[in-house]
A and B are shown apart, each in its own frame.
Chain A
């Protein structure tokens, strides 16, 4: 094989848009649904088919769900060994299918598993992979313009993969709108064989402990987000933020440092390696404002910063700020909201709490 032969066997042989589908508890993950919507848009512009790729075990139901969101077809590889996500068997399945069918574009959710898989796969296939995209476009030659935040969201980089195929990208969760589900949508479900078995398993999942989901709103869905950082000092102090959130009808979230300190579950983390939120008000409490954090909240309508360090970067992007001890300010905030609620209430009820 001469230099680059693996690459340019002729780009025109590569057609179609693929979406790697992830399910959980027999439901498609939201990032996969969102990607189907975006994949549809790209496929239509390229005049190509949109295919979902679903490795797994007993996933017929998931495949049908996925069709309903607008796929032309789903390729299912059903093997007991694919029951849970594992790097090597999944990478083998994807590499085999990509070599077999030669898609032009392959999209992954930028989930932990999506990045784990994409990273291994792009090295094996020696093709381009853009991480964490927030927007896609096509250039004048029809290449996929893969647009991703860089430097913690201070800029957007346009990544092109001009000579190599497929063009691969992972996409951030909750950036693309989910398409409506139409149970009458028709599409093909194709079962394909890939030689993958126990010998391809090189790691074993011993234990899984699900994050406990406390009641109440999820930060991505809330109009008001009360987010706590390292300044909270202890996990139990998040109760104070929950109280504020309950009073305002908001949701509690956390910075990476607070999550890594074990004070809040990972699924409440806002920022580059967590979720992106765009609430009407974002309260950053005891959060210094690392660029990675800002990447996940800087598009909030209003930003309120409460921090004892007047030089904290968070004040640079805050609409309102209070410099001071959050352990005085937050309880005072709670007290005044209660007080105003009480005086405003017309038939003065007994305080609800």
Chain B
């Protein structure tokens, strides 16, 4: 009998495409309507890392998310890329949850799935960029965490992961189950395959769970049970830039640039 397939749960969030975020020049607020969405890029890197493990050994990859049903787009993409199945925790009472209820609700969802060996998250989201949910899940589940990793090696029940720390790279070893948060950009997420896209349509591959389905305490989630609130948001007024582009061949353009910088007094020769 070969080793039991690993069960790897990848937590993803759907976020507005960062490059598309623009400040409305009239209202000075962020334009969010009509902005296309994507899988939070570090989460896509985490999913790719999970799929690479599945390429090498018996493993089941389950993608989970928490949010409105439009998040199905990202779950479908995840399954299309090669995840075995997906769970969306979706419930109106979850609206406005900060990282405390989010970590709680996701960890309850993970417990409900059960028999997990490894939980992968992106290091942070590109829209909120806290990086708190991955370690929060580890805290709730009371299991080991290794953050900011870019490589995983598995041997029996132990996991080795390469972590990017402040001053160098570290190799950590821990036991399963564990939470690993994955560095943005450490993998190149694969494209969905035709076969994967067909699997998406199969019944039961993507399921929706409510808080009641999972057994989540309604008094621990949502805006009113979140410790933090966003009291207000100020638009940052950056000084306008000249946006002067120097044309011509390299020689001309460089000469003009050099003149401008010398005139501004920001470089000296």
Contact = CB atoms under 8 A, between A and B. Distances in A.
A196 B46 CA distance: 32
Contacts of B235: 154-155
Nearest to A124: B139
Contacts of B219: 3-4
A211 B173 contact: no
Interface stretch (A55-63, A99-107, A231-239, A332-340): A332-340
A117 B147 CA distance: 10
Contacts of A7: 227
Interface stretch (A43-51, A178-186, A202-210): A202-210
Interface string A287-321: 00011100000110111100000100101111111
A315 B247 CA distance: 14
B241 interface: yes
Contacts of A174: none
A152 interface: yes
Contacts of B254: 322, 329, 332-333, 336
Nearest to B255: A336
Given A24-B167, A126-B227, A302-B264, A340 B253 contact: no
Given A155-B233, A281-B261, A115 B131 contact: yes
A228 interface: no
Contacts of B21: 151-152, 154, 291
A113 B165 CA distance: 8
Given A91-B139, A319-B242, A205 B167 contact: no
B136 A119 contact: yes
B94 interface: no
A256 B184 contact: yes
Interface in A241-272: 248, 256-257, 260, 266-267, 272
A153 to B, nearest CB: 6
Contacts, number: 270
Nearest to B98: A128
A127 B134 CA distance: 16
B145 A302 contact: no
A267 B227 contact: no
A129 B130 CA distance: 9
B58 interface: no
B103 A290 contact: no
Given A113-B166, A291-B19, A120 B173 contact: no
Contacts of A266: 164
Given A112-B165, A151-B30, A132 B242 contact: no
A131 B100 CA distance: 13
A116 B267 contact: no
Contact of B266 (A120, A291, A302): A302
Given A155-B23, A281-B266, A319-B244, 6 more contacts: A115-B132, A116-B147, A154-B235, A159-B229, A273-B124, A316-B241
15 contacts: A112-B166, A119-B133, A122-B99, A123-B139, A150-B129, A158-B234, A160-B229, A202-B174, A204-B174, A205-B172, A206-B171, A302-B264, A315-B245, A316-B243, A322-B253
